Each structure stands twice: as structure tokens, then as C-alpha cells.
Structure 1
Amino acid sequence: MMMEISAEYLAAGANRHPSVADWDEGGILAFGADRNIALWSPQNHDSRGALALLSGHTDTVNVVKFIPKSDGILLSGSVDKTIRIWRRDPSSEQYSCIQTLGDHESSLNCIAVATGSRIFASGSADATIKLWTLDDQNVTTLKQTIEVKPRFFPLALALSPLTDAPDSYVLAAAGTKDIIQLYVLDSQIRQDFKLQATLSGHEGWIRCLEFTKENDSPHSDILLSSASQDKYIRLWRIHQGKELPAAAANQDPSFGAFLPGKSLSNKAHRFKAQSLDFSATFEALLLGHEDWIYSTKWRAHDQKLQLLSASADNSLAIWESDSMTGVWVTVARLGEISAEKGSTTATGSTGGFWTGLWSPSGTTVTCLGRTGSWRLWNYDKDLQRWIQGVGISGHTQTVTGIAWSKKGDYLLSTSSDQTTRLHAKWKRGDQESWHEMTRPQIHGYDLNCIDSLGTSQFVSGADEKLLRVFDEPKAVANLLNKLCGIGGDHIENMPDAANMPVLGLSNKAIEAVEDDEEVQLGKSNDREAIDPASIVRKSTLSLDHPPLEDQLSRHTLWPETEKLYGHGYEISCLAASHDGSIIATACKASSIDHAVIRLFETRTWHEIKPPLKAHSLTVTRLRFSANDQYLLSVGRDRQWAVFKRDSTDGNNYEHLESNHKGHSRMILDAAWSPSDWPVFATSGRDKQVKIWAAERLTPNPDTFRLEATISEDHPVTAIDFLSLGTETQYFAVGTEAGTFKVYVLSPSDKFSVQPVPFAHKM
């Protein structure tokens, strides 16, 4: 039997790096997501999230670059010191890695490609720049290595044809110093790049360089934009001819007067290539950003050049040269108004925008923020302004726990990025797509585990030794009901919304205020002071689309209702019973005293004592059986333990059985079969999955025995069962290598286990 499995939803946050993304002329935006490359189609009207993940790198991806007009050649550079070359199959639209380059000795920071050529440059933390050529068979050859040590480490590169003659290029390089170096390849004289000019003027590290031709003329000047941590963008002109361009030749003496203490030197740097004379001169200084500038991108529009800049001040700016004066001015500013940035790192967007990109048509811009989410704006010709649309989001660190709501309406996820996120299906007409709908918890500790307590409540555990319980607020309930068709019951009994005090960790229930109502903010040093950005107006979440990133991070918090204490170390795992009456928890432990399982009942939130003892090291997973009669625990001490519910007191569980040699190495996960008879599976670092079943000879089984063993090629980190209401049961097995398999289990046929072949469909 062939099973078809399709990827319904891929959510991955982007890495924080100015070079981490690129937008191909075919409409695909590629970005680094941890050690993977995610592909997204921002202008696709079905609003799907990431389309695919390309895996291969063994460490964080820093830079992604398409080679223009190459029919889908994609370059990626990583902290793993390698460059990977990916090619798109025209028939299947799938990407595959065709070559891995390991010549660098440290992390890749930047890659530059030249339009209309098969040459590219790479810059690394090993303080070298390498030049490569890609032949017609897509085989890459290293042509030159440029040492920039000890001058700087390259953070930004730009590459452009210098003339219409073949093999004549200019390479701009900059990084951890305030200078830009221009290297020129003159094929008439030599076959390598030579340093021809050093451009000075910036006063901070330079994060981005970008070349463009000024117009379509064969003899057009080349403009270079440089974005720096000094909060300024500088434009430079490379001009062909012995005479200097007009701006440089007729410099106004008052040119630098508006910047106290700064001199805008316009020294002309002259060089030759292809027997032609060239000059590189300073063209313009762009002022307006209030913080570091991470990226700039050129775009030709209506015979005009536009420049898109992304800054740590949480804004994108679009710049144009005024047709009358030639002065570069901001024609649009997108992002956040200063007064709404927020006071805290948690609910504000502190960290700013890391990169901004134009769509191939120029009608859409996207930017990447600190939270790993993409924001998107579309240009409305009728209104003549940019309208924000629905982007995509995802965790930026390890996802440590997921849990479905009790009805399966939505999925909760929690992560080491200190957020809990709720994902649900946006339903509109005949279209459906998954999105992050709320961000219930934004925390100050890494979050480790989560479980649902019903349709509108969940509990999570973190590195802070306690557990927190959250209730759904009215604003979120209305949003989920309107967009997803979820819930809608008992909304009148819910709090309006929640916010987080500036200096606190607990989400407080608050009342939504009228749109025109003034709010007293209090003093900035007050622990209970209100973050002005977290005030929830009654119209805030009256949306006809999933919340945008600024709404997610500020207005979709869930109020915290309980804290559960008792553990002495970081919470390692938790599980809620299926009837929602019991929460079982454990913490990191290196002794029997701390490796206990604590139970809390959810009616009064009191701990049920004494705690359950069985393990000597950290408990890694807790699972209740489908009827809540059994509680299963597994741990780093290689053993599993089963506890049985007291028939007279439903809040008590008693130790039933342990197997001290369940696996030969630590056990990482466990799951109960949905069958009526007690059956469970365990998996571990010993690369095995084991099926255990209760003895059928007695009506009240007291012992579990091993019925089947499955061997895998990698440590098995996750398992779970699926019941289709038949005797046949499916279970999925996930490994440390990032792969998973599906097996079919037949308990009635001597627990036979067979792998299920399936077609993976995107």
C-alpha cells in the first residue's frame, strides 16, 4: 500500500544576517533558516508559507544568492565554512545540491554575483575573498584568493561588469573597517583582480555594498551604495573618461557644512581598464535613519533609480534622486513609527530590520526582523501608497515542544527562542492556509515543553524551575473564531487581552480600551509601568487576515493565570492528561532526589504529594495513555517506568513497573498506542524503537514485555502513534538526521511491524 504524505505547513524563522536572503526573477525568495534554506513565494495569492526546505549545510546559513539569468542556480554560504551550489530542475521545480566548495577556512559572510556573467566572489571570516567561475556545466573553479588580513574581515561584497568588453569587472569589498576597497579585473593585462582604489568617508563597519548601472546606455556610469553602522548610506560613482563627472568637478564649497565636524571629501580615484580611463568619486550622502543600516537594494523604475534600505531603527526607506535638484530624498518609509517601538525587547522589535528586498516587478518589498519573521508591503497604484500584507513567521531557535489543542483545531509550539506560538488554518472561501495566529507567550527564559489543557488553556515549562498556565483572552478567541472557525463558546467569561509589564515576566490580564481613549503610562522606572506599544485597543484584532508581525508580538499575548512550583532545576518535560485534570512534570536532574515526577491537579492547582519516584537522572518524556489510566516516563538513565491510576482516587498514580535496561543508551521519547490494550513504544540514542505490551493473560496486567524492535540508522528522537479507528495502527519515527519514517503496527498479528512506503509531495 502506497501512502501519500504532503507538506501542509512549513514554518521556519530566518537567520539574522544582512545577506541571508535573495529574491529570484522567477518569484522565489530564498532565505537561510538555521542550517537550512527555505523557499517562499511572497507574491503567491494563496498565502502559503515556506514551499520547501533545502538541507545540506551542517551549521547556520549566513548568505544566500541567486545567479541572475541562470535558470535557477542558487549559492549559499554557511558557518560550516562551505559554499553550496544548488540547481533547480526545470521539470520538477525541485532544487538539488550539485557542488560543495570547502576552500574557505572560516564562516562565509557574503557572496557577490555579477549580472550576466558566471563569475562570483565570496568573503569569509578567514579574512579572504575568493573569486570563482562557473562553467556551462555548472562546475565551479577557484580563480583567485585575495588576502585582506589584517586590514578587515569582509562583511559585504559587490561585483559588476566594468565595461561591455568581456572579462572586465570591478569588485567592491568592505567589512570590519570604515573603508571600501575597489578591485579591478583588466583582462588585457592580467587574469586577476588588483586593488585600484580605497574609498574613505564612513565612520563605522560597512554592512552592505550594491552596484547598479545608472541607465541603460552602454557607457552608463556605475553607482555603488554602501550601508554602514554609522547610520549613513553613501553613494559612489564610477565614471568612464578622463574628465570627472559634473558633481565631482563642480563641488559646492558648502557641501559638508550641514554635518558639523565631518568633511565630505570628494577625492577622485583614477584607474585604467581595457585601455580606458575611469574615476571613482563620492556622489551623495543619504541621511534619515536613526540606527545602523544593514542593507541596501537598487531598483530601476520608470527610468529612475530607487534604493531600498533596511535599518536597525525598525524602518525601511525608499530613496529617489529629486529630478530638479538631484538631491536624494526619502519617498516612502515603511515599518514602525518611533513612538510605537515599545520599551522592551520582548514586545518591541528591538534589533530592527536585518535585510530588505525588492520583488522582481518592484511592486512588493519584504524585510526581515529580529523575530525571524518576514514583513511584506504591496504597492497600491490607486492609493499610491504601500499597503502591508501577510508575511510568514517561524521560530528562530530549536523547537522544543509541540502540542495539539484537545480538539485538534490548532497547534501550539514552544522554543528556545523564548516564545510560544499558536498555528491555525486561515479559512476564506475555498482557500485555506496555515499561519501563526497568536504568540501567547514571550518569555525571558528558554522554553522547553508545552501541553494543551483544553480548547482555551495551556501549560508551559522553561529554564526557570516553574510552570506557567495561560488562558485564552477574548480578543484572540474572537480572532480565531472569525478567521479559523475555532471555538466561540464562553467568550464573555474571558479577559479582554493581556500585556507584559516593562520589567516583568508574567503576562497580565487587561481590559481593552476604546480607540480614542487616553491611557496613563506611568513612570518609566515603575515595575508595573505599561509599555505604550502593548496597549490593546478594541479594534486591534478586528482583522480579516492573520495578524501581522507587530500585532503578533504585542497584542496576542495570553494572560497567565497560575504558576506551579516545586522543582529545583530547569523544567525538562510535562504532560497533561487527556481529560485535563492532571499535569505531570519533571526537571533536569543528576540525582534521585530531583529526578522525581510531580503531579498537579488543575481544579485547585495544588501539587499531589508525594511525588512519583523511579528515575535517577533527568526524565526526558512523560505520556499519559489514551484513557489516562497509565502514566509513562522515560529518561536519561536508560529506563522506562509505568505508573497506574488509583481506582478510588483519580488524582493518584502508583508505581507499577520499571525496566532498568529498557535501552542501551538514554531514552529520548515514548508514546502510547491508541489501542484498548496497553501498548507503548520507546526510542533512544541507541538507534532503536521498541514496542512494549502488557501481558494479555491476566485481566489486570502488571507487567509489560518487549514485543518488537526496530533498528534505525540514526538516534531516534521522536515517535508518535496515529489511530484510524481500525485494528491497524500507524506510527511515525523521527531521527536526529531530520528524517522520518512511517510504520504500520498490527497488534493482533504478533505485533508485526512493517515500513509504509510513501510518496513525499510538496
Structure 2
Amino acid sequence: MEEVKRVFIGAGCNRIVNNVSWGASGLVAFGAQNAVAIFCPKTAQILTTLPGHNATVNCTQWIPSTKEAFKVQHLENHYLLSGDANGAIIVWEFSLKDRKWRNVLQVPKTHKKGVTCISGTVVSQTASIFASTSSDSTVNVWELLLPSTIGGDCKLSCLDSFSLGSKPMVALSLAELPGSTAHLVLAMGGLDNKIHLYCGERAGKFTHSCELKGHTDWIRCLDFSLPTSTSGEKDSLLLLSSSQDRCIRLWKIALCSSPANSEIPYRKKEIGLASYIEGPVIITGSSSYQISPESLLIGHEDWVYSVQWQPPSSTPAEGNDVCQPQSILSASMDKTMMIWQPEKTTGIWMNVVTVGELSHCALGFYGGHWSPCGDSILAHGYGGSFHLWRNVGVNFEDWQPQKVPSGHFAAVTDIAWSRSGDFMLSVSHDQTTRIYAPWKEEVCSEDGYTWHEIARPQVHGHDFNCVAIIQGKGNHRFVSGADEKVARVFEAPLSFLKTLSYAHFQKSFAPEDLQDNVQILGANMSALGLSQKPIYVQATNEAPQKSSNDDLDTLGAIPDAVPVVLTKPPIEEQLALNTLWPESHKLYGHGNELFSLCCDHEGKIVASSCKAQSATVAEIWLWQVGSWKAVGRLQSHNLTVTNMQFSHDNAFLLAVSRDRQFSLFSINTTGVDNVSYELVARQEAHKRIIWTCSWNPFGHEFATGSRDKTVKIWGVQNKSSVKQLITLPQFTSSVTALSWCGCSSLRNKGILAVGMESGLIEVWTLSRNKIDVSGMEVPSFDAAVAVRFDPFMCHVSTVHRLAWKDIENEDCRTLQLASCGADHCVRVFQVGVN
């Protein structure tokens, strides 16, 4: 094997408030289950995932942040902090020069419960201070000394730690106090509806200074501005706070007296409204600061989860100070993000931009973030999705949606390649089916293609467990199985076929008879999210399409889909509603939730199994493609059949089960409706549950993988018995996924991909030999590990399925391997073959 390249990663964002951070490096970090994922907004591609956490990633924080990029213009490495649900915090180093990542240290575990928020500030070129809070009601403050040499070690020291009683804090913001370079202020807010201010020295303890009251519900976000000036000198800070009371409050912290101006007694300015509502005075060191409410921003109709100052848009010239732009971004569960700016004449803060208000599918935003230059805004939503807008106006503001990475926001349970290899289908416990495909673009990657999610054919009301693409002639079809007793069959509509064609050829191309053969343009979602009704081409031509916004004022209404041919990668709003496939059949028969599906290689038979604890329920059903009649009920196992596969000549069906046995059935199709089957062999093959199996593409040998950490290779002899050929050396973790690949030019050498519960992937070469036993040629195999994937390329949780792209008619020098796992990720690798 030659090197393994990462082709594509698809993943959704954890549905947690402080999960996303946009750094001065221009990259966005977010938690995807136990991994920290990094994506580039310019290319809309996830670049890598960082392994290391053993629990769900709750929060991320870049150092320097977008707001502080000007402080460290010549920094060669940027740093990322990530906290998880077990209380662990990891510091990652990102090299701007070679674009590589390094796990530099793990913060000593002082939090006993999940980390909910991390906030940091850069205090010098070689030092930063950050604070973390947890649901165990503690806050820790740390000093992070950055290495002075490339590849050096970071040093960490704890400045302070304090407990806050029974009501934990969920929002933090840390800043340097104006007029005093040695003192910091830490604002925290949470479940007691108050903002708590703590002041401390850069290397000392923090003391509680005051409480700010005003909000009537939980504080969800806090953000300090850069120092602002009132009389030519930077003598004040502005603090933003947002709450579940739907309000945003702006607080001013102004320098009253300091050693520099101690000779001049502090005098109140002219009497105005602010004079009567001034808040407390805080004293730190020899300086004192007056706090007063500055503004109350009302406009959101639901909880305001996020509020953030716009970062400085450009690097200052020599000798010039950086000014804080008077612009605020807020994100709310009312499905909108707003930009607020003060009116020029009155100074009253007004909502000047609102985006996302028609996002019926977003189900609310958990956070909003500015790009480093302030020309883009990013939101992450309840559905694990990203929403990006960019200001494309020249002399006026014109915010337009941009493409972003997308993916599942729960465990991905199954994947399948289309018969032509044009796209890949995945299903997940997030109750969606998604299609990913390479999209040809003029300016993009080396081979001219970048991968994107191009359709969401099924949005369901149950968690998905399995899927099978029907491999016969005709239109694209698939069968999906979920936590219900029914399997459902879907067929590609005309809009998808034209979109797929455009993605590959960059022109509206379709066979001449496509319009005649496929009369369904798309599908509509039902009210309960189960059956999807077709939209016919003829109906859309005759009647004008109803506006997608007509019914949005009624509670829970689902607007009609408007399926169209996509000429660029779709955004979330299009995917969630306008790319559905119509359901053509339901397959009734199983007594429990569906668990496994497979289709033969001619597209004539589909096999299905369900969750079972008895022999009668554990039977495998065979369905005839087309008529969708049940043509067989195969009984052999006592517990759930976990995986099934047809041999490549369709002569056998292999099934493996939780009862530690495999079963081999001979399948014979004669005539139109006649399918005969016979149990050839049943054998207890492993000491623990068998999770997976895979056939040799060029023979009657197959592999089984089990929780007992072993992979065994078996051979079918005389079509009547099975013999074990070899056991691979024991793996470090349970084997949960197998996929056997072969090339016509390498008939005697198979390539077996092995996925494990730890998330790691290995590829083994299986060299086939023939030995003479009593005058009979019996196949044997020599196994050798070809490549172990870099952990930074692998999953961080259980690999659920591996699938080689069918390369029967292609050059064998490069192979593509798809994988999916419990870490919410779908991945595609390119593996070179010598």
C-alpha cells in the first residue's frame, strides 16, 4: 500500500451552545461527538478531526480569538482549547506554516463534571490566560505560557479556582482592564440570572467585585469589547450579556481613578439619564471603575443564546490603535441572527441586519460568530447544521447565504455506494438519510472535485439502522430500515438525476428519455415525518407552485417543497425540504425494529432482518425487487442478525448474528417469482457477538469480525461445507466493520479493510494460495497488514460500516474507501495500491 489520503469528511455539529469557535487563523473549530472537527469556511470542507477526548466535546476556544488577532500578528502557531463532558480540557497547537496539528497538553482534570464554557485572552506574545467553568459549579483560571521555539512545550499554571455554590455558571468572558495592564476582569453568568465580576492580577488571585442585576432568566453569553475611549484615552470596557429572557444588555465599565490621574479628583459628568442608573464601583489595585447599564436591546422573540462584538476588520498601521467596531452579532432560538449598530444621530442601538428568519428547518440557532475580517457571520443550529452568510455588497450591505460543510449530528449507522459510484448514501440516528457526491468546480482541489451533501432523500420520525442501495438496472433506488417494523423503498426523482448530472459535468445533461421515464419531480414531507408523497412533473407544469412561505405563520406548518435542479452545492434550507425522494413501497412483515439490510448484485432480491431475542423473530426475510413480494423467510439464528451479504455471484447469502454464529444459505432464483433457498452451514465462529462479515469478490471465501477482537477467514467447499482458513492476529479492539475488495488485475490478492470499536482502521492484504490436499486444491491465505491509518484520519468512536467503492472496471492503482461511525462522521479515503 502507498499513502492514504483524506478525500472527504462529513459531520454535523454537537447541539451545544458554546461548541463552535472561529479563530484568527480563519478556521472554525467545533465538536462532533468526541472529536474536535476543523473546517475551512472558504472551501466549505472539513479539514481534519482531532482525537483525544473520551466524551462529547462541549466547547471550543481559539487563542488568539478573532478579536485579538492584532495582538499576535507574528505568531507562527495558534492554539485551540477544547472541553468535554467528562471535565477534560485539551490544548491543541496548529502550525500556520505546515498546517499540522499537535496535542500539546491536557489540562489537569480539576472539573468533576462537564466543561460548559472556556474564555481566554492574550496578555503578551508568549502568554495567555483562560478560564473554564463546569456544571460542577467551579471556575478555574489558568495561565498558558506559549513556547518560544518551534516544537517547544507549553507550560500551564493554575492562577485561581473557586466554587460558586449550587447554581453553576454557563457563560464566561475574560479581558484586561483599561488603564491597568496588570489587572484582569472575569465576567461570569449562569443560572442565578446575575452577572458576577471578579477582578485579579495577571499572576494572582481573583476576588469577587460585584454583581450586575437586570436579566430575569439564565445568562447564556457574555462578551467584553476591546478597550474603548471616551476622551481620547482608552479608559472603558463594554460588556455584552444575553439571556433566556430574550434581551441583550450592554454594560459600561469606565475608569474612575488610577495612579496616572490621581491628582485630578473624579467628578461626575453632566447630569443625564445615566447619572441616575449608575451601578457599583469596583476597585482593583489602585484603580477604580464605575459600572453602569448602557443599553437594552430588544428584538428577538426567543432565548438569545449568543452575542458577540465584531472583531477589528483590519490590522492597524504602525503607531495606530485598534478601534472596537460598534457592531454586535446576536443569535437566538427564534431562528434569526441580528446585527446591531448604534444610530449615528441618537446613539440608540438598532437592529440593522436580520438573517435566517425564513429558515423553517433550522429549529433555532445555538450560537453566532463573526469571521476575522467581519464580512461573514456563521450560525450553528439545533439540527447540527451550519448557516453562513457573507456580505457581498460593495457600497451597501447585502448578506447572502454561502455553502458550508454538513453532516449527521448523531451516530451514522450505515453507508452504501451507488452502483455507478457517483454518490454515497448514509443513514443515522439523527433520523435523516443523506447523499454525498463529488462536485466538479472550476477552482477547487487537485482533481477538480470537492465533496458535498447534495440531497437529503429521507427525513424520518425514527432512528435509522440500515440501508441498501438496489444494484440493478433502471433508476437509483434504495431501501431503508429504522426503529420501526417497516422497510421503506425510495426512488430518485427527476430533480435529483439532473442535479447529479450537473455535479459531474457542469451542464444540464440528462438522457433524452429521462423525462419520459421519470415522471416524479420530487417529494413533499408529511406532517408526521414518515411517508413522503410524490410531486409529479405534470402537476408542477399545470399549476403554479405555491410559495414556500405561505403557511409559515401557522404553528408547526410544513411549507410545500419546491424541488429544483441544483447548479451549485445546496445550503441547509434547500437540503432539508427540497431534495426529498418519494416513497414507492412499504415492506411489512418483521415483528421488531429493522436492523440489517442487503441487496444482491443483480438487484433482484433484498434481504432484511430485525432486532430479535427468539428464533421466530430472528428470521431473515427475502423480498423480490419490483413486485416487492416476500419470497422467503430464512430461519437459523436465535438472536439479532447483525449483518448480511450476498456472495458476488449471488449463489450464497451469508448472515452473522449476536448468537456468535454465522449461517450460509444457498440462493437460487428461477423464473419470475420462484426463489429457492437452503441452509448450507451454520457454525459458532467466535467467542463473542459477530458484528460484521464480507465476501471475497473473486471467490467463495468470506471474513467475519467479532467483539472478541478477531477476524477469521472462511472458505466454502463443494458448495456444501465451510472450513476456517486463517485467523488474523488479534486486534487491539472489537472488530465492528469489514470490507473485502479485489481487482481483476490482482485476482489472487485481496484487500481487507478492518474497522474497530476504538475508531481505528487498518487495511490488510490477503494473498491467496492453493495447496494440494489429497489430490484436491484447497485455497489458503497469507495475511499481512498493509497500512494502519493515522489516528488523526480515523474515527474517534466505533466504526459502524466500511465500504470500498466498486472499481471492477477501473484502474487498481487507487481505491476509495468509505466509512461511517458513532462519532457522527462519514469519511472517504483514497488508498494507493502498489
Whether TM exceeds 0.5 here: the answer is yes
Q: Which runs of 5+ in 1 are unaligned?
A: 254-264, 342-347
Q: Which residue of 2 aligns with 1:756?
A: 786
Tell me the CA shift for residue 581 of structure 1. 1.1
Q: Which residue of 1 aligns with 2:286?
A: 275
TM-score (norm 1): 0.90
SS in 2 for 1:552: helix
Change (3 A) 1:531 1:479: farther
1:241 aligns with 2:256: yes
Mean CA deviation greater in 95-104 or 51-60: 95-104
Q: Which of 58, 62, 65 is the aligned partner of 1:66? A: 62
Change (3 A) 1:759 1:607: closer
Q: Which of 109, 112, 123 is the aligned partner of 2:116? A: 109
Residues 666 and 686 in structure 1, CA contact (< 8 A), matched pair in contact too: yes
1:359 aligns with 2:371: yes
The residue type equivalent to 2:344 in the other structure is: S
Residues 61 and 78 in structure 1, CA contact (< 8 A), matched pair in contact too: yes
- Give a deviation string over 1:242-263, Cα, whole Å, max 9, x none: 558869x51179xxxxxxxxxx
For the residues of structure 1 that align with 2:587 and 2:413, how far apart are their CA atoms? 20
SS in 2 for 1:177: coil
For the residues of structure 2 that align with 1:434 and 1:520, how far apart are their CA atoms? 31
For the residues of structure 1 that align with 2:734 and 2:9, how far apart are their CA atoms? 23
For the residues of structure 2 that align with 1:292 and 1:451, how far apart are their CA atoms? 41
- Give a deviation string over 1:165-212, Cα, whole Å, max 9, x none: 44310000111121100011146xx92111111011111111111011
Q: Which residue of 1 aligns with 2:32?
A: 33
SS in 2 for 1:626: coil
For the residues of structure 1 that align with 2:662 and 2:93, how far apart are their CA atoms? 46
For the residues of structure 2 that align with 1:89 and 1:522, how far apart are their CA atoms? 46
Q: Report matched runs for 1:663-674 at 5 Å.
A: 663-674=686-697
Change (3 A) 1:518 1:458: closer
1:251 aligns with 2:264: no
Q: Which residue of 1 aligns with 2:423?
A: 410
For the residues of structure 2 that align with 1:716 and 1:177, how far apart are their CA atoms? 48
TM-score (norm 2): 0.83
The share of aligned pairs that are identical, in percent, is: 34
Q: Which residue of 2 aligns with 1:169?
A: 184
Change (3 A) 1:645 1:186: closer
Tell me the CA shift for residue 516 of structure 1. 9.7
The residue type equivalent to 2:93 in the other structure is: R
Tell me the CA shift for residue 301 of structure 1. 5.3
Q: Which residue of 1 aligns with 2:88?
A: 82
Residues 227 and 234 in structure 2, CA contact (< 8 A), matched pair in contact too: no
Give the number of aligned pairs.
723
Q: Report matched runs for 1:263-302 at 5 Å.
A: 266-300=277-311
SS in 1 for 2:173: strand
Q: Which of 370, 385, 391 is the aligned partner of 1:379? A: 391
For the residues of structure 1 that align with 2:576 and 2:670, how far apart are their CA atoms? 46
Q: Which of 668, 679, 690 is the aligned partner of 1:646? A: 668
1:628 aligns with 2:667: no
Change (3 A) 1:646 1:330: same
Change (3 A) 1:534 1:581: farther
For the residues of structure 2 that align with 1:530 and 1:583, how far apart are their CA atoms? 40
Residues 634 and 667 in structure 1, CA contact (< 8 A), matched pair in contact too: yes
Tell me the CA shift for residue 87 of structure 1. 1.4
Q: Which of 386, 391, 398 is the aligned partner of 2:404? A: 391
- Give a deviation string over 1:705-735, Cα, whole Å, max 9, x none: 1111112110000010122212221110011
Q: Which residue of 2 aligns with 1:473?
A: 493
1:425 aligns with 2:438: yes
Change (3 A) 1:653 1:30: farther
Q: Which of 576, 584, 587 is the aligned partner of 2:610? A: 587
Q: Which of 596, 606, 626 is the aligned partner of 2:629? A: 606
For the residues of structure 2 that align with 1:27 and 1:491, how far apart are their CA atoms? 44
Q: Which residue of 1 aligns with 2:136?
A: 126
Q: Which residue of 2 aligns with 1:494?
A: 519
Tell me the CA shift for residue 9 of structure 1. 0.4
- Give a deviation string over 1:643-690, Cα, whole Å, max 9, x none: 111264685252333343211111000001101x20110000000011
1:156 aligns with 2:171: yes
The residue type equivalent to 1:741 in the other structure is: E
Q: Which residue of 2 aligns with 1:325?
A: 346
Residues 281 and 289 in structure 2, CA contact (< 8 A), matched pair in contact too: yes
Residues 639 and 658 in structure 1, CA contact (< 8 A), matched pair in contact too: no
The residue type equivalent to 2:492 in the other structure is: E
Residues 761 and 788 in structure 2, CA contact (< 8 A), matched pair in contact too: no
For the residues of structure 1 that align with 2:268 and 2:707, how far apart are their CA atoms? 67
Q: Which of 683, 687, 694 is the aligned partner of 2:705? A: 683
Cα root mean square deviation, aligned: 2.6
- Give a deviation string over 1:578-597, Cα, whole Å, max 9, x none: 11111100000111111100
Residues 311 and 370 in structure 2, CA contact (< 8 A), matched pair in contact too: no
Residues 294 and 310 in structure 1, CA contact (< 8 A), matched pair in contact too: yes
For the residues of structure 2 that align with 1:521 and 1:20, how far apart are their CA atoms? 31
Q: Which residue of 1 aligns with 2:742?
A: 723
Q: Which of 206, 209, 214 is the aligned partner of 2:219? A: 206
Tell me the CA shift for residue 159 of structure 1. 0.3
Q: Which residue of 2 aligns with 1:227?
A: 242
Tell me the CA shift for residue 421 of structure 1. 0.2
Q: Which of 164, 174, 181 is the aligned partner of 2:196? A: 181
Q: Which runs of 5+ in 2 are unaligned?
A: 65-71, 147-152, 258-265, 314-322, 771-779, 794-834
Q: Report matched runs for 1:332-343 at 5 Å.
A: 332-337=353-358, 341=360
Residues 710 and 735 in structure 2, CA contact (< 8 A), matched pair in contact too: yes
1:56 aligns with 2:52: yes
The residue type equivalent to 1:12 in the other structure is: A
Tell me the CA shift for residue 438 of structure 1. 0.4
1:98 aligns with 2:117: no
- Give a deviation string over 1:691-713, Cα, whole Å, max 9, x none: 11122xxxx42112111111211
Q: Which of 725, 728, 735 is the aligned partner of 2:756? A: 735
Q: Which residue of 2 aligns with 1:261?
A: none
Q: Which of 312, 325, 330 is the aligned partner of 1:309? A: 330
The residue type equivalent to 2:604 in the other structure is: S
- Give a deviation string over 1:397-437, Cα, whole Å, max 9, x none: 10001011111110000000000000111112463100000
Change (3 A) 1:316 1:513: farther
For the residues of structure 1 that align with 2:374 and 2:592, how far apart are their CA atoms? 52
1:453 aligns with 2:470: yes
The residue type equivalent to 1:436 in the other structure is: E
Tell me the CA shift for residue 381 of structure 1. 3.3
Residues 335 and 357 in structure 2, CA contact (< 8 A), matched pair in contact too: yes
Tell me the CA shift for residue 48 of structure 1. 4.7
- Give a deviation string over 1:521-542, Cα, whole Å, max 9, x none: 99999xxx998653234xx534
Residues 638 and 661 in structure 1, CA contact (< 8 A), matched pair in contact too: yes
Task: Pick 1 or 2: higher relative contact order, CA cutoff 8 A, min separation 6.
Answer: 2
- Give a deviation string over 1:540-588, Cα, whole Å, max 9, x none: 5343211110110011111111100111111110101111111100000
Change (3 A) 1:491 1:622: farther
Tell me the CA shift for residue 18 of structure 1. 2.0
Tell me the CA shift for residue 266 of structure 1. 2.9
For the residues of structure 2 that align with 1:78 and 1:329, how far apart are their CA atoms? 37
Residues 307 and 320 in structure 1, CA contact (< 8 A), matched pair in contact too: yes
Mean CA deviation greater in 657-666 or 21-30: 657-666
Tell me the CA shift for residue 375 of structure 1. 1.5
SS in 2 for 1:114: strand
